Amino acid sequence: MNNLKNRTEELFRSLGSLIPQKEKRFTRLSMLIAAAINEGLKKNGGKTQKWLADRLGRKESQISKWLSGDHNFTIKTIVEIEDAVGTEILQINYIRFKQKASCLSNVYHIHEKPVSYGVNINSFQQFVLPQDNSFIQKVQQG
Amino acid sequence: MKIFEKDIEIVKVMSGNAGDIYSIQFIGDSQNELEKFLNEFGRYTKDPIFTAFGKIFNKLNTMKDETGFLPVFFERYKNGISKLLSRDRFNLRLYCIEVSEEEVITGNGGKKPGGRGRPFQSSARLERNVNILASLRPKLFSRMKENNVDNLYDLINLNKENAKFRISYEEPIE
């Protein structure tokens, strides 16, 4: 059975190397967004796709299509869904730090190490502000 | 229609961080059903259907490694059999049994002639592939219930013989 597992896995891997990276990344991002929406609905009292469709004034079949892992989401759609579900679906970890951190806003608390131009999809992460001011001190100390 | 009775075994073919992929293998066959699908549609990158294959491949891979087999990614028939779709002009599909969000059994698939809206029964090949899984599914779930387990890993770990089934399915004459 182990041989069989290795054989199929090897075939899977070798065929996977023939698929263009950008297609892989597109499907992955679309699926992660769909998974995040799905999780948001679950955490929001187990809301259904029909509930989301009603909230957004769309057909249920449209929501189903969005969540199928093929959909090319627009930012506008994501914002609409985030508003409806009440969960942050997409985060972009680009934050520019001032040389002198004299005016600290909440956004500084989110990431200690900003990643320029990196898109990070954190399906289930909540923004929880730290209780102490250790991070502010770190920023001030440079 | 011709009725076949055959022995099969459920085999684990891949493990990922988020889930495990199983397939079925007919006793005496050299390949499991997933391998047949991969070999038929994934070998020829110049063939236009390769793009459709890539979509299904990418979905399966992302589910295995990151999201798990969430029900939202599948469409299903009334008999409980699910399909992963390419959602393009080829309408390529891979038929599956969703066991849980962490385990899926993949069968074979194919492209549906005539586009969306036509039933899978319009293709003898697709009908056969659905019928195979549809014959296995109730037997599998009742065996899991009898053994008081809710997953394949435990079922097969309890007794290797639990992975073996005799199924009977209808195969249309082409």
pLDDT tens for residues A90-105?
Answer: 888 777 777 765 555 5
CB A87 within 8 A of CB A45: no
Please provide the average confidence, as pLDDT, over all residues in chain B: 93
Model confidence at A119: pLDDT above 90: no
B15: number of Cβ within 10 Å: 14
Task: List, in order, residues 6 or more apart from A2 with CB less than 8 Å away.
Answer: none
The confidence score (pLDDT) of residue B14 equals 95
Mean pLDDT of B14-41: 96
pTM of the model: 0.83
Give the model's confidence band at B99: pLDDT under 50 very low, under 70 low, under 90 confident, else very high.
very high
Confidence of residue A41 (pLDDT cuts 50, 70, 90): very high
Which residues make beta-bridge pairs with B17? none
% chain A with pLDDT above 90: 56
d(CA B21, CA B98): 10
Q: Provide the Cα torsion A88, A94, A98, A103; round to 10°.
A: 0
- What pLDDT score was predicted for residue B173? 74
What's the pLDDT at A103? Answer: 53
Question: Could B87 and A1 be called an inter-chain contact, meaning their C-beta atoms sit closer than 8 Å?
Answer: no
Mean pLDDT over A60-78 rounds to: 95
Q: Taking 50 as the threshold, does the pLDDT of residue A116 lie above it?
A: no
Using a CB-CB cut-off of 8 Å, the residues of chain B touching A5 are 11-15
How would you label B161-174 residue by residue, b for 16+ Cβ within 10 Å and e otherwise?
ebbebebebebeee
Name the residue facing B54 among A19, A34, A69 (closest C-beta): A19
Task: Find the chain B residues whose C-beta atoms sit closer than 8 A to any C-beta of A.
Answer: 11-15, 23, 25, 32, 34-35, 38-39, 42-43, 45, 50-51, 54-55, 57-59, 61-63, 66-67, 70, 72-73, 75, 85, 87
Q: What is the pLDDT of residue A5?
A: 65
Least confident of A76-80, B35-39, B42-46: B42-46
Is pLDDT at A131 greater than 90 in this prediction? no
Provide the b/e sequence for A50-72 (b: ≥16 CB within 10 Å). ebbbeebebeeeebeebbbbbbe
Task: Give the pair of three-digit tokens for residue A112.
Answer: 């200690």
User: Is residue B83's pLDDT more than 70?
Assistant: yes
Q: Per the structure block, which two tokens stand in for B141?
A: 């779930």
**Alpha carbons B24 and B133: distance in angstroms, whole number:** 9
Reading the block at residue B2, the tokens are: 């011709």
pLDDT at residue A138 greater than cutoff 70: no
Report, in angstroms and rounded to the nearest whole number, the Rg of chain A calculated over CA atoms. Answer: 20
Q: Which residues of A touch B89 (CB under 8 A)?
A: none
Q: What is the pLDDT of residue B85?
A: 94
**Averaged pLDDT, B120-133:** 87
Using a CB-CB cut-off of 8 Å, the residues of chain A touching B12 are 1, 5
Contacts of A23 in chain B (CB under 8 A): 51, 54-55, 58
**Cα of A105 to nearest chain B Cα, Å:** 33
